Structure 1
Amino acid sequence: MEKDLARTFAARITQASKTELVVIMYEVLLSDIASAKEYFHKGEDEKAMHDIKHGQKFLNELMSSLNYQYEISLNLMSLYIFVNKRIMDAYYKKEAEALDEAKEVLEILMKGFSEIAAGDKSGPVMTNTGQIYAGLTYGRGTLNETYVDPNQANRGFMA
């Protein structure tokens, strides 16, 4: 995963509710699958396997966070096991086609959780984090992205 993409996910995580965190985990996993598939097609198997391992950490987190008091958790676990099997097939057999099946299932699940997250008004899980305001400014020959945390009014030089 590229550093800029990782920073974007990290910033989103600080502002996310519980259900938005699940959606972000799906997005990270799908991003890793897409980049692994791309690396397989380029013949860069080591990089593909690195991205598969990274994505599998997020899949394992999704699996371990299920609450088995609800029947839907058993259904989700069955889907996660299937996805994990396809990811492992891609890893050991070095074939990108297995990732397509995993991607299809994850996209459907992400869509469902995205709809749930849209209605979640519980607020961010992380507390004591600043609100992020982003903007772009022009520098000499470059475009700079900055963010300002309004909760830190004492930043900068005092005159």
Structure 2
Amino acid sequence: MLQNAAQTYQSNQVTTATPADLTLMLYNGALKFIKQAKLALEDKDVTKAHEASIKVQNILYELMSTLNSDYDISKEFSRLYEYMLQRTIEANMRKDVDILLEVEDLFIQFRDTWKEAMLLAKKQG
């Protein structure tokens, strides 16, 4: 019952979120799954690590698909997301925590910058 309530709450969060909020959720989700993959690798659970890595890859595909090509910065984001995707795939194939740490650091930078941009936009709006 509690899990059902949590799923309903999470579903409502997603359906009522702004595009900016959704992007932030994707960044946070990727960080959560990278952490899961790292822990799974430490526990020698390659299946769980693989599943978590695939979720990170899917988030990166989603982030790439939602970029607005009308803005020049989108090309830079696209290149960085593509790099992060390739590194995540490599980490998954090699079962390499160090590569996951690199991708995690990039996600942290994206998330923190995005949060700052959201705060600035709210102040101006």
Which TM-score band applies after superposition, normalised by the shorter structure? 0.7 to 0.9
Kindly provide the amino acid, as one letter, of the partner of residue 12 in structure 1. Q
Whole-Å separation in 2 of the counterparts to 1:87 and 1:3: 31
Going from structure 1 to structure 2, the CA distance change for 1:8 and 1:27 (only over 3 Å counts) comes to farther
Deviations 1:69-120 (A, max 9, x none): 1110011011101111110111111111110110111111111111223355
Q: Could you say which residue in structure 2 is the equivalent of 1:26?
A: 27
Deviations 1:115-159 (A, max 9, x none): 2233556xxxxxxxxxxxxxxxxxxxxxxxxxxxxxxxxxxxxxx
Whole-Å separation in 2 of the counterparts to 1:63 and 1:120: 22
Going from structure 1 to structure 2, the CA distance change for 1:15 and 1:104 (only over 3 Å counts) comes to same
Gaps of 5+ in 1: 122-159
Q: Could you say which residue in structure 2 is the equivalent of 1:107?
A: 108
Gaps of 5+ in 2: none
How many angstroms does 1:7 deviate by? 6.1
TM, length-normalised to structure 2: 0.85
Give the count of matched residue pairs. Answer: 120
TM, length-normalised to structure 1: 0.68
Q: Matched residue of 1:67: which SS? A: coil
Which segment is superposed worse, 98-107 or 5-14? 5-14
Structure with bigger strand share is 1
Whole-Å separation in 2 of the counterparts to 1:71 and 1:38: 37
Q: Could you say which residue in structure 2 is the equivalent of 1:54?
A: 55
Structural mapping, 1:87-126, within 5 Å: 87-119=88-120
Q: Matched residue of 2:107: which SS? A: helix
Structural mapping, 1:1-159, within 5 Å: 9-119=10-120
Identity rate, percent: 25
Whole-Å separation in 1 of the counterparts to 2:87 and 2:26: 18
Structure with bigger helix share is 2
Kindly provide the amino acid, as one letter, of the partner of residue 79 in structure 1. L
